[in-house]
């Protein structure tokens, strides 16, 4: 945990989510004098956890003083938020975000911004599509817009993506993913995945240890991979009205999970669309916010500041 962090609890129905925050539970839910003028949610991806943005914490708060910063644990990454393994659709995850927003800002008078990495980015797109009235902006990391790309365009312009996405097959079957995700060795599947997805990042065992520990918890391997098993064409549709929700799309040009050609295609398709920006960062991989936490935080914090209405 960063020095300015507290652990608070957010809820969605009967599910409870452990959340890192710069304010305490009492400050958020009991004290009447609120000290913030905006709310920023930091939403992690796979295989990762909500401390993913810890190294960016101070940078964000320096650029955005007066912010309530919240980094929730996504559905299924702890026993208190688990449930039926069919209940991990993007629409249901977006409902979690809606519940979190309404829990901390029931009157809806404070601007709310989402910053999502990987699956957190997909959740951010889906939330912006479904509940645009709740959001001032979103910033997505390592997961491009996609919903505007036709299958033939992906095959023609981004053929390497088929290979990059082949890991999704592993997530369909417990006999494949469970042993891999619970391996704690230095040569584990998670180590290899991080290295392949962020080949220019020399991460340490300390960087990855907490993630490995999370996948030792009961139900987490099944729940975290259920996201992939709950995907369908309807769930993968998230057209965003960028006039209502200004959107920043950040990627690394060395990403081994999402090829840079997808971002380049998105940049061409969205170049004349107002209120959306696609930006590729040099020599950064899939975990770009971990690899260069200050630079990445500066970019999405500036986007938030620009669209803080």
What is the torsion angle, in degrees rounded to the nearest 10, for the CA atoms of residue 78, residue 59, residue 23 and residue 248?
Answer: -60
State the pLDDT confidence band at 232, using cuts at 50, 70 and 90: confident
Instruction: Please give the C-alpha separations between residue 261 and each of 140, 167, 206, 258, 264, in angstroms, as whole numbers.
Output: 17, 19, 32, 8, 5
Count how many residues are written for the chain: 309
User: Measured in whole angstroms, how far is the alpha carbon of residue 74 from the centre of its chain?
Assistant: 9
What is the mean pLDDT of the segment spanning 259-285?
97
* Strand ranges of the sheet holding 276-281, from the earlier edge strand across to the other edge: 6-12, 15-21, 67-72, 38-43, 112-117, 137-141, 247-252, 276-281
165-195 pLDDT, tens digit per residue, is: 999 999 999 999 999 999 999 999 999 999 9
In a domain, 301, yes or no: yes
In a domain, 197, yes or no: yes
CATH number of the domain residue 227 falls in: 3.40.50.1820
- Model confidence at 1: pLDDT above 80: no
In a domain, 1, yes or no: no
Check residue 233 and give its pLDDT. 79
31-72 pLDDT, tens digit per residue, is: 888 889 999 999 999 999 999 999 999 999 999 999 999 999
Check residue 134 and give its pLDDT. 98
Query: Do residues 44 and 117 make contact, with C-beta atoms less than 8 angstroms apart?
Result: yes
Look up residue 289 and give its two tokens. Answer: 């916010």
In a domain, 249, yes or no: yes
What is the mean pLDDT of the segment spanning 301-307?
97
Pairwise CA distance, residues 94 & 128, whole Å: 9
What is the mean pLDDT of the segment spanning 251-260?
97
Q: Which domain holds residue 36?
A: 6-306
* Count of structural domains within the chain: 1
State the pLDDT confidence band at 216, using cuts at 50, 70 and 90: very high
The C-alpha R_g of the chain, in whole angstroms, comes to 18
In a domain, 199, yes or no: yes
């Amino acid at each position: 945990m960063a020095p300015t962090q507290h652990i608070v609890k957010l809820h969605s129905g009967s599910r409870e989510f452990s959340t890192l925050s710069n304010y305490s539970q009492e400050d958020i839910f009991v004290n009447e004098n609120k000290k913030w003028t905006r709310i920023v949610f930091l939403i992690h991806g796979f295989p990762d956890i909500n401390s993913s943005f810890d190294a960016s914490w101070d940078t964000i708060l320096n650029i955005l003083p007066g912010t309530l910063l919240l980094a929730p644990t996504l559905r299924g990454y702890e026993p208190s938020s688990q449930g039926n393994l069919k209940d991990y659709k993007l629409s249901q995850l977006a409902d979690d975000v809606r519940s979190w927003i309404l829990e901390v800002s029931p009157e809806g008078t404070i601007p709310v911004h989402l910053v999502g990495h990987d699956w957190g980015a997909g959740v951010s797109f889906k939330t912006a599509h479904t509940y645009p009235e709740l959001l001032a902006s979103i910033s997505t990391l390592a997961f491009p817009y996609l919903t505007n790309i036709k299958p033939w365009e992906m095959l023609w312009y981004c053929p390497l993506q088929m290979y990059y996405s082949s890991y999704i097959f592993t997530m369909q079957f417990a006999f494949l993913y469970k042993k891999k995700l619970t391996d704690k060795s230095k040569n584990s599947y998670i180590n290899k995945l991080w290295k392949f997805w962020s080949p220019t990042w020399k991460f340490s065992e300390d960087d990855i240890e907490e993630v490995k520990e999370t996948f030792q918890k009961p139900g987490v391997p099944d729940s975290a991979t259920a996201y992939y098993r709950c995907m369908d064409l309807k769930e993968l549709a998230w057209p965003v009205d960028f006039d209502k929700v200004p959107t920043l799309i950040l990627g690394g040009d060395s990403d081994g999970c999402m090829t840079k050609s997808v971002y380049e295609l998105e940049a061409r398709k969205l170049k004349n669309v107002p209120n959306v920006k696609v930006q590729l960062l040099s020599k950064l991989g899939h975990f770009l916010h971990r690899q260069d936490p200050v630079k990445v935080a500066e970019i999405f914090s500036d986007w938030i500041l620009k669209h803080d209405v």
